[in-house]
């Protein structure tokens, strides 16, 4: 019902649907901070994800305009994934989460 034109209120549910879930943040983090990756590289970079889930989440991210998918007509197959500009805009959010974790993990270090 809300088309996004009145965003005085924080649209948390929309945001969280887009980047929430179990794997999306991990996928985005890699693509945002490490750049373009092939399917297999992503799989390797996220140890516990299954092929099925990686494919599914990548498609969802692609559908939301956060990830670009480039297929090469080669054999064996080669598919590259990269963060879109929109996704790269999330970098500050990732950095904030990182800082939070560090502050939490070592509250009295240094």
The residues of the shown chain that bind DNA, judged by CB under 7 A, are 21-23, 38-40, 43, 48-53, 55-56, 58, 69, 71, 75-79
CA distance 32 to 18: 16
For residues 73 and 106, which CB has a smaller minimum distance to a copy of itself in the complex? Answer: 106
Q: Please, are residues 82 and 67 in contact by the beta-carbon 8 Å criterion? A: yes
Closer Cβ to a copy of itself, 15 or 72, answer by number: 15
Question: Cβ of residue 81: shortest distance to a copy of itself, in angstroms?
Answer: 17
Contact status, residue 49 vs residue 39, Cβ threshold 8 Å: no
Residue 15: which of a copy of itself, DNA, none does it interact with, CB under 5 to 8 A by kind? a copy of itself
Q: Residue 80: what are its φ and ψ, rounded to 5°?
A: -110, 140
Considering the complex, state which of residue 69 and residue 95 has its C-beta at the smaller distance from a copy of itself.
95
Total residues belonging to the chain: 110
Locate 105 and state its tokens.
Answer: 């993990």
Beta carbon of residue 100, minimum distance to DNA (angstroms, whole number):
22
């Amino acid at each position: 019902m809300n088309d996004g034109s009145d965003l005085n209120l924080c649209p948390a549910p929309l945001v969280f649907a887009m980047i929430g879930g179990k794997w999306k943040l991990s996928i985005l983090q890699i693509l945002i901070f490490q750049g373009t990756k092939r399917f297999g590289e992503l799989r390797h970079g996220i140890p516990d994800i299954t092929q099925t889930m990686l494919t599914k989440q990548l498609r969802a991210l692609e559908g939301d305009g956060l990830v670009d998918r480039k297929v090469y007509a080669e054999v064996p197959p080669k598919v590259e994934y990269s963060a879109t500009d929109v996704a790269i805009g999330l970098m500050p959010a990732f950095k904030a989460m990182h800082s939070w974790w560090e502050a939490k993990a070592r509250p009295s270090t240094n």
